Every structure is written in structure tokens, then in C-alpha cells.
Amino acid sequence: LKAQGSSRQQAPPPPAMFSASKKIVKDKGAAPTELEEEVAKALFDIEVSPSSDIKADLKDVYISGAKDLDVGKTGKAVIISFPFRVWKVVRKIQGRLIRELEKKFSKKHVIFVANRTILDKNFKRMGVSVRPRSRTLTSVHESILED
């Protein structure tokens, strides 16, 4: 005998639990450092906080690295690098995001930098003999200073 309708209802899947580890994307699966985990957690906290006005923009933002830097005798700075693909979104919310992160990392300055690709002078790919100006050493270094 077949039952027409089962009394057992399937529960909806639980909402996807996101974590701070989703905010870090490293090259070739390298393990994130403690500072990178801290920065990712801070980004995640800003994203999930109900009062944040930049939470919609932060949804697609992730980091590729973070470094601690000594500035002068007593100052410290955190340099956070983002993949170039998300750089346009980061630039849009940069001011507000820096303020939020500087609150989380007290007594540290926060600096954002995009990961850019430098191509060799001998660059040849699929018959393309001209390398884009944005991939030259000079252009990449100027862009980093501009960031």
C-alpha cells in the first residue's frame, strides 16, 4: 500500500552559516596568519552588525592578506590587501570601512592596498605581444602609492 501524503514534513535547510574564514582568500591555499584572521573577523563583524550602513557592500568583499607595520617610534599600521577584483567595491566604501576597522584595531592605522599583477617585458600570451600599461612595473608601483 502506498501512502498518499506523508505526515512527515521535510524541514527547510538551515540558513547558511557564514564565518570569518570566508573573508580570507589566500594564494594556493596558504594558511592565514593570526592578523589576517583578526582582520577577517572584524570585517565579518561589521558585515553582520545590524547598525552597519555598509553591510550590503561588504557582502562580496574579502581580503588576500594583512601585514603589521611599525610607523615611527610608537605608531603601528595594518596594511590590508584586497584582490583587484573586489577593489572597486572597496574604494567605494573605503572611508567608512577604515573608520570602522580603526575602532576595532585601537591605536593602529589601517591602510588598504589592491593586489596588482606585474607582467614581464617578455610577456607573450596567446599571440598577444603588447602588455597592458596597467601591468607594467612602473604603473603598478604608482597605483600602490595612489591607493
Looking at the structure, tell me whether residues 107 and 123 fall in a common domain: no
User: Residue 9: inside a domain, yes or no?
Assistant: no
**Do 46 and 106 belong together in one domain?**
yes
| Residue span of the structural domain in which 72 resides | 20-115
Q: What is the pLDDT of residues 37-51, one digit of tens each?
A: 888 888 888 888 877
69 falls within a domain: yes
Q: Is-above-0.85 flag for pTM?
A: no
CATH code for position 96: 3.30.70.1350
**Angle ∠(141,142,146) on CA atoms, nearest 5:** 120
**Range list of H helices, the chain:** 34-48, 55-58, 87-104, 137-146
Per-residue pLDDT tens digits for 64-109: 888 998 888 888 899 999 989 989 988 988 888 888 888 888 888 8
Residue 5 pLDDT > 50, yes or no? Answer: no
Instruction: Say whether both 64 and 122 belong to one domain.
Output: no
The Cα–Cα gap between 111 and 20 comes to 20
Query: Is 95 in the same domain as 55?
Result: yes
Residue 86 cell numbers, joined? 573586489
Worst-scoring range by mean pLDDT, 6-10, 70-74, 77-81, 118-122?
Answer: 6-10
